[in-house]
Amino acid sequence: MQAFRNLGRAIGISTLAGAALFLTAVTARAQSSDPDQKQITVKPTDIDHQAAKQATVVYRKAWTGSRPKEVGESKLTLHAGTVPHSQSSSHGDGDNPPRYPGDLNYHGGAVVEFAKSHAIYMLPNGTCPIAVCWGNPEGFLRDLGKSEFIHVTDQYVDRESDNRYTVGQRAFVPYTPPTVPFTDNDMLTVIHAVASVTGETGYGHIYHVFLPQGQDECFDSTFTVCASNVFCAYHSSADFTDIGHILYSIEPYENVIGCQVRPGTPNGTLVDSTNDSLSHELIETITDPDGTAWWNSTGLGMFGQEIGDECVFLVPPFYSDPAIIKVKGNLYALQPEYNNRQHACTADN
């Protein structure tokens, strides 16, 4: 079993900025389970890199899975404009996690009432079959968006209609594996390149960047808070000077110790670990896209926790313990979400 992502952390230049890259946007049909889905292949340019450097990260929130904390909680968040809040574990002591952690509080900020999720797949040396490298994230997102489970968000966004969360475009980004980890700025470069082609920004669109096995990614070029040693995934928002507000999540390879679901889930650890993390980040983006909407501010060891953070339950030695949920006729292993109406972590709405 692979222990952790193992790329080195030697300090170097930005991995996407040093090469003379060119932009291509090619509509394609290959690998798509939806014949109407648009696909593009994008290579970021220096224009995208400069846009990323000038962007302002509004909010960033990391999820650490079942890993022990190696850095202070304050370093796991970046939040502009209000009091920062931390990501901390809610799993309690031993095998008895609290199932009724504490209601979320509203802090006046934006929520996501409707959105398309756009998948961005990072392809090392130009190739990484989606089914082999990640499973079927977009198929899962389609099912989730049509499920009863997604309606747990209704109470937080003040909407009850069906089919509010759908799947948009797919982007492939071929790259040469770098000798240093990617940084969040590199991810902003990629997202800017893709969003500049799709033309879809603002609160109605969420970009999910999927990294392949072995590819590390860190918050910044100090290479201290990384997928290889601290977080399993994170969701974030940023303001670009040219294309505006962007919501995004970074999804490193999840089938590693500390980020895996327990063995024996319906679709295997690769698929279910990917989907479990993706549902965590998507639903937290919906209910707290900028860190100013729904989170627990009551203290009691849960200050700053969002809808998903309160309901991550663990089993020894390093596994998350999701619920088995039927979503549009398919079984998925997904963590529950906190439900203010029921004052508990639930696997329904």
247-286 confidence digits (pLDDT tens): 999 999 999 999 999 999 999 999 999 999 999 999 999 9
Q: Looking at the domain assignment, is residue 62 inside a domain? A: yes
Token pair in block for residue 197: 């082609």
Q: Which residues contact 107 (CB under 8 A, 6 or more apart)?
A: 82, 292, 293, 294, 295, 297
Q: Given 3-state DSSP classes, what are the helix, strand and coil percentages for the chain, each rounded to the nearest 5? A: 20, 25, 55
Token pair in block for residue 15: 């991995």
Query: How would you classify the pairing of strands 319-320 and 165-175?
Result: unpaired
pTM: 0.87
**Across the strands, what pairs with 325?**
332
Token pair in block for residue 41: 């292949």
Q: What does the pLDDT look like over 28-67, one tens digit per residue?
A: 333 445 656 789 999 999 999 999 999 999 999 999 988 8
Q: What is the mean pLDDT of residues 171-192?
A: 98
Q: Looking at the domain assignment, is residue 25 inside a domain? A: no
C-alpha distances out from residue 109 to 95, 288, 291, Å: 35, 8, 8
Q: Nearest CA to 140 among 283, 289, 345, 307?
A: 283
Q: Looking at the domain assignment, is residue 306 inside a domain? A: yes
Q: Looking at the domain assignment, is residue 198 inside a domain? A: yes
Q: Looking at the domain assignment, is residue 8 inside a domain? A: no
Tokens 């990917």 locate to: 274
Contact by Cβ (8 Å): 322, 335: yes
Q: Looking at the domain assignment, is residue 60 inside a domain? A: yes
Contact by Cβ (8 Å): 103, 339: no
Q: What does the pLDDT look like over 59-116, one tens digit per residue?
A: 999 999 888 767 777 788 886 544 333 333 333 333 444 456 789 999 999 999 999 9
Contact by Cβ (8 Å): 284, 307: yes
Q: Nearest CA to 306 among 288, 289, 323?
A: 288
d(CA 276, CA 262): 11
Q: What pLDDT score does 88 carry? A: 33
Q: What angle do CA 272, 276, 282 make, to 5 degrees?
A: 140
Structural domains counted in the chain: 1
Q: How many CB atoms lie within 10 A of CB 113?
A: 16
Q: How confident is the model at residue 298 (pLDDT cuts 50, 70, 90)?
A: confident
Contact by Cβ (8 Å): 286, 239: no
Q: Looking at the domain assignment, is residue 13 inside a domain? A: no
Q: Nearest CA to 290 among 63, 159, 72, 112?
A: 112
Q: Nearest CA to 291 among 53, 60, 37?
A: 60
Q: Looking at the domain assignment, is residue 131 inside a domain? A: yes
Is 40 in a helix, a strand, or coil?
strand
Inform me whether the pLDDT recorded for 246 exceeds 50.
yes
Contact by Cβ (8 Å): 136, 130: yes
Burial class (CB within 10 angstroms; exposed 0-12, middle 13-18, buried 19+) of 76:
buried
Q: Look up the domain containing 54 and give its range.
A: 39-346
